Amino acid sequence: MRGWISPAITEPVRRRLLFTALCLPLAWLGYAIAGELNQPGSVLGADPGEAVVLFLGEWGLRLLLLTLAVTPLRRLTGWAELLGYRRMIGLFSFTYLALHLLAYVALLAEFDWRLVLEDFSDRAYITAGLIGFGLLLPLAVTSTRGWQRRLGRRWRSLHRLVYPAVFLGLLHLVWLTKDGYGEVAAYGVLLSLLMVERIRHGAWWGRKAAG
């Protein structure tokens, strides 16, 4: 499997390349925001706040799905090194989603907490997204080796929260979509494939190696 990767690109280099790649959406956002500050409407259109929120949410969800794809990909390719990148991808996903939430509160709601609380309680799609994010919070906190050691077997159980979290993330997207379900369908198919792979390996809620 690794035959196509030049031996000169060693594991630390690969790690840095992946880190850089995961930063690219943020870099583009930085460029877009700089453009907006320079000339409003020039990059993000008539509703730049909403554009930023949507962009961050989409990348957060994509990277969460990518995180869930690591283990099936490792099983498929037999490339054990992949597992070593899972935490980084997961933390990037969490970062994008945290910024998504922050951008919503700061740019769309403009720190109007009455509006935010009303959205949290009255808008089902926002409630779903918020709960999903809440589930990811302990996962991000306990992602370190120290916590992994301390929690032992329970770490694995705790991190299964990622499944309801990604489901709620997808539900959030389904519920906010008015029409045009192409993106939702693509993510749904991908998530289904990843779950089927897990079930086939008995790794879903079972005793075998973590899913």
Partner 1 sequence: MLIRRPDDVRPSEITPEQVYLNRRKFAKALGAGAAMLAAPWSANAGDSSGNDLEPTPEDIVTSYNNFYEFGTGKEDPKKHAHALTTSPWSVEVSGAVGKPGTYDLDDLLKGLAPEERIYRFRCVEAWSMVVPWLGIPLKSILDRLEPLGSAKYVEFKTLYRPSEMRGQRSPFSSIDWPYVEGLRLDEANHPLTIMAVGLYGKPLPNQNGAPWRLVVPWKYGFKSIKSIVSIRFTEREPENTWKLLQPQEYGFYANVNPAVDHPRWSQASERRLPSSLFSQNRMPTLPFNGYADEVAGLYAGMDLTRYY
Give me the residues that bind partner 1 (CB under 8 A), please: 33, 36-37, 40-41, 44-50, 52, 107-108, 110, 115, 118-119, 122-125, 175-176, 178-182, 185
Give the nearest distance from C-beta 177 to partner 1 in angstroms.
8
Contact in structure between 60 and 53 (CB atoms under 8 Å): no
Cβ distance to partner 1 smaller for residue 18 or 32: 32
Q: Which is nearer to partner 1, 17 or 117 (CB)?
A: 117
Give least dist CB 52 to partner 1, A.
Answer: 7
Report the run of H or E that residue 56 belongs to, with start and end.
helix 48-77
Nearer to partner 1, 81 or 118 (CB): 118
Report the alpha-carbon distance of residue 115 to residue 108 in Å, rounded: 10
Cα gap 75→63, rounded to integer Å: 19
At closest approach, how far in Å is the CB of 113 from partner 1? 14
- Number of Cβ within 10 Å of residue 173's Cβ equals 20
- Is the CB of 49 or the CB of 98 nearer to partner 1? 49
What's the min distance (Å) between Cβ of 181 and partner 1? Answer: 5
Q: Where are the alpha helices (DSSP H) in 85-161?
A: 86-103, 113-122, 124-141, 145-151, 153-158
